Structure 1
């Protein structure tokens, strides 16, 4: 079975989805394209060689005109939940880009409705679909470094050269926490198998920043069992850049696991690296990484298609992603309040 999808949101990153990610996954077929911009819609339709009858200005029009099984949403974040609810009410499964929503309360509306209707609702946490974090998850499950004592995460990029008037990233709400650190929060939950319970975040606002909200954030994240994570993230760093998944040092009684992931262009896995050091004075030994049929968004899209076809529930289901979203929300509250904030899940 091929899962027929309507793709909503084709500008910027959504256009990249349409042209480079979705076509690589043979388990899906695009039957409808949606974007309110006629120029953007026509450009993507032409590039994909799809008929004019497959292009629509709204999801409402597309749902009424084409037979589809699912909706993929890569529109702006503020539209994620309204579009997801419209798709779910039409009986369609949903894959939505991160961040799922800007609050857990809003996201919960879609989660509950999907569960009531028995439909798949998955969030695209694409950083999970790389070999390095997959291997680290397995090694930690196997107790490779013994009892954990600390985790350090660093993310560094310079993104401050574009014109303010035309670069939408500068206007993204809470770009360091909501747009970037959400990836790292989700990876942290994945590799450790632990949930976050408390976050203390401090944001920096240098005068040269073009961002409307925080572009630099330092955090202390407390996980279940008292494990403390030190996080430093910056869009304004002149220090050596990290990969998009950051650089991780996971320390335990019997050694250190170090890894980095998602370097270079989306889906490239050559930059993924994992090392294991058994002693402070010993050399770090590289860990062999497996090959994967699909990485990045393609891996998540393939998992989504298989869930729609009756396979296992997605590991980044809407319900599970509420826990990553709750860490993001607590970090945002702490950055404003200046005090540690508990990670609170909605009822």
Structure 2
């Protein structure tokens, strides 16, 4: 029997979730949709072929109006924790879009509540659900390039053309760090199996930027054991674009492991690539990648459904995601203070 879900937040990216991601996962069934904007709500309801009785202006109304097992939250980030707490207090499991919250301590309130109630709380860190980073994780676990000495990560996109009023990211607080680099922080933790302990970040905002906050950031991120990651990210780069997961060079005693992932539209895996180079003079050899049943948001949603129905705790549980959020916070603090900041994970 599929997990019955209420989907909250249908504008923009949430509408994309509703129309293209959720319908692909047979383990879930949408029994209610929620959005405060009547036109948005009706458009999604019509596209999904749902009855008027399944559409609600608020989560409170939906919880009272339909029988559900879980709530999927794709509303604006500032609403994530309040909505999650309401759903949890109603006895529902929760899947929430990233970033989980704008502070780790706020997110921790929902994590604690889910644990008290014995409910699943998962964050959609969709970049994990692609073949390249999953293969790289396995290769590093197997010491494929020996002792890892350094990791370099580059992310480059140009996203500065729409008017400020129409752009979905211009007003996002610290858009480079909070909205984009959170993906890369999470991948960093996944592939290395190490937790970040300290971040030194510098952010900048050229005069032509339309972003409310800095859209360029460079960071040194120290992981457990002293491994240092060099990170460069920009929403304002005129250099060749990277894929959304960036370009990663992982250098060890026995060679270099290089990968990129999530190019193009969501679920596009054609651009995923992994190579191994043994010395500076060797050709990089491609690594074969597996075919995955579900990628991107669908992969995370499938994992959520299986966890709700008695499976293992999701790898991107709310508890685990506090560590990715804590890196984001440390980077933000360092960019503002100009000094390295420790990664502080709330209990």
The bucket for the TM-score relative to the shorter chain is: over 0.9
Unaligned 5+ residue runs, structure 1?
none
The reply on whether 1:20 has 2:17 as its aligned counterpart is no
Shift of 1:168: 2.9
Deviations 1:65-93 (A, max 9, x none): 00000000000000000000000000000
Q: How many angstroms apart in 2 are the aligned matches of 1:64 and 1:306?
A: 25
Q: How many angstroms apart in 1 are the aligned matches of 2:108 and 2:54?
A: 31
Taking the TM superposition and a 5 Å limit, the aligned residue runs for 1:150-161 are 150-161=150-161
> Partner of 1:168: helix, strand, or coil?
coil
Q: How many angstroms apart in 2 are the aligned matches of 1:273 and 1:72?
A: 31
Q: How many angstroms apart in 2 are the aligned matches of 1:271 and 1:168?
A: 25
Alignment partner, residue 276 of structure 2: 276
Alignment partner, residue 178 of structure 1: 178
Q: Structure 1-normalised TM-score? A: 1.00
Q: Structure 2-normalised TM-score? A: 1.00
Taking the TM superposition and a 5 Å limit, the aligned residue runs for 1:324-343 are 324-343=324-343
Q: How many angstroms apart in 2 are the aligned matches of 1:275 and 1:312?
A: 31
* Structure 1 stretches of 4+ moved >4 Å: none
Deviations 1:272-318 (A, max 9, x none): 00000011100000000000000000000000000000001000000
Alignment partner, residue 221 of structure 2: 221
Shift of 1:346: 1.2
Deviations 1:11-55 (A, max 9, x none): 000000000000000000000000000010001001111101000
Taking the TM superposition and a 5 Å limit, the aligned residue runs for 1:13-92 are 13-92=13-92
Alignment partner, residue 298 of structure 2: 298
Alignment partner, residue 241 of structure 1: 241
> Partner of 1:251: helix, strand, or coil?
strand
Q: Kindly report the root-mean-square deviation, in angstroms, between the aligned alpha carbons of the 2 structures.
A: 0.4
Taking the TM superposition and a 5 Å limit, the aligned residue runs for 1:88-107 are 88-107=88-107
Q: Figure out how many residues of one structure are paired with residues of the other and give that number.
A: 347
Q: How many angstroms apart in 2 are the aligned matches of 1:42 and 1:247?
A: 40
Alignment partner, residue 121 of structure 2: 121
Unaligned 5+ residue runs, structure 2?
none
Q: How many angstroms apart in 2 are the aligned matches of 1:342 and 1:159?
A: 31
Q: How many angstroms apart in 2 are the aligned matches of 1:84 and 1:64?
A: 16
Q: How many angstroms apart in 1 are the aligned matches of 2:192 and 2:24?
A: 30
